[in-house]
Amino acid sequence: MDGQLNALIITAASIGFFHTLFGPDHYLPFVMMSWSRKWSWFKTTWITFLCGVGHIVGSVVLGLVGVSLGIAVNRLEIVEGFRGNLAAWLLIAFGLVYFVWGLRRAYRNQPHEHRHAHIGEAIHAHEHDHHREHAHVHNSKGTASVAPWTLFIIFVFGPCEPLIPLLMYPAAQNSFFGLMVVTCVFGIVTIATMLAAVLLSRAGVSFLPLAKVQRFAHVIAGATICLCGLAIQFLGL
């Protein structure tokens, strides 16, 4: 069993890494939300970590229930498929709502000119907006607090399809130790890959010349998240 367990551990680590890296839904929403909402590095890391844990735990619980009840793999995969569809549609809906909210915010934040005339001086004008002056008030409410929890719920529903078959083999060998090791390796590699992808991508975005489109940051983030959900649902990414 040692050789077989070692092979399972390597397989779990490899699948956890590539499954996460090739699935843009594992990191793109966090990158865009971090950029648009100006999350700190700590907040970005913490939210990504919690969503990753929720993502893994949801499938682990389902897999362990299936293993304990002796449910066939194909039946568990049907349940995972349903959860995957639900998570994709929730991601699409969240992105669309955030996109519309971002459009409204961008419109309210549209710069406009004010002209002033002073005694003995020529008339001059300056650009300004009313919404940005109170941005710190609005950012502490509404979507600022709802967005992380929405992402967490979506990721709890989001399945880890490769995990179920990985759990079944050690369970069939009656190896509880093997079951726990495979689960932990898959979970640790998946979350570590998520964090690395999010933080590296976020660092790359910070170097891009995006000052001119900052007013549309929420619009861009919402559109990207919505497109990410559509790609998962219809392209199977």
Pairwise pLDDT comparison (146 vs 76), residue with the higher score: 146
The residues near 3 (Cβ < 8 Å, ≥ 6 apart) are none
Mean pLDDT estimate for the chain: 81
Over the stretch 131-156, which tens digit does the pLDDT of each residue have?
444 444 344 455 557 888 889 999 98
- List the domain range (segments joined by +) for residue 17: 2-109+131-235
Residue 211 domain-assigned?
A: yes
At 35, the pLDDT band (50, 70, 90 cuts) reads very high
- Mean predicted confidence (pLDDT) in 51-66: 84
Residue 230 domain-assigned?
A: yes
Asked whether the beta carbons of 158 and 58 are under 8 A apart, the reply is yes
Over the stretch 83-131, which tens digit does the pLDDT of each residue have?
888 989 999 999 999 999 999 987 876 654 545 555 555 555 555 454 4
Pairwise pLDDT comparison (13 vs 167), residue with the higher score: 13
pLDDT number for residue 134:
44
Residue 40 domain-assigned?
A: yes
Q: Cα separation of 93 and 104, whole Å?
A: 17
Helical H segments across 109-175, by residue range: 135-138, 143-157, 163-172
Residue 124 domain-assigned?
A: no
Q: Cα separation of 179 and 172, whole Å?
A: 10
Pairwise pLDDT comparison (64 vs 181), residue with the higher score: 181
Residue 116 domain-assigned?
A: no
Residue 120 domain-assigned?
A: no
Q: Cα separation of 225 and 21, whole Å?
A: 16
Residue 140 domain-assigned?
A: yes
Residue 88 domain-assigned?
A: yes
Over the stretch 174-202, which tens digit does the pLDDT of each residue have?
677 888 888 899 999 999 999 999 999 99
Number of domains, the chain: 1
- The proportion of the chain whose per-residue pLDDT surpasses 70, expressed as a percent, equals 80
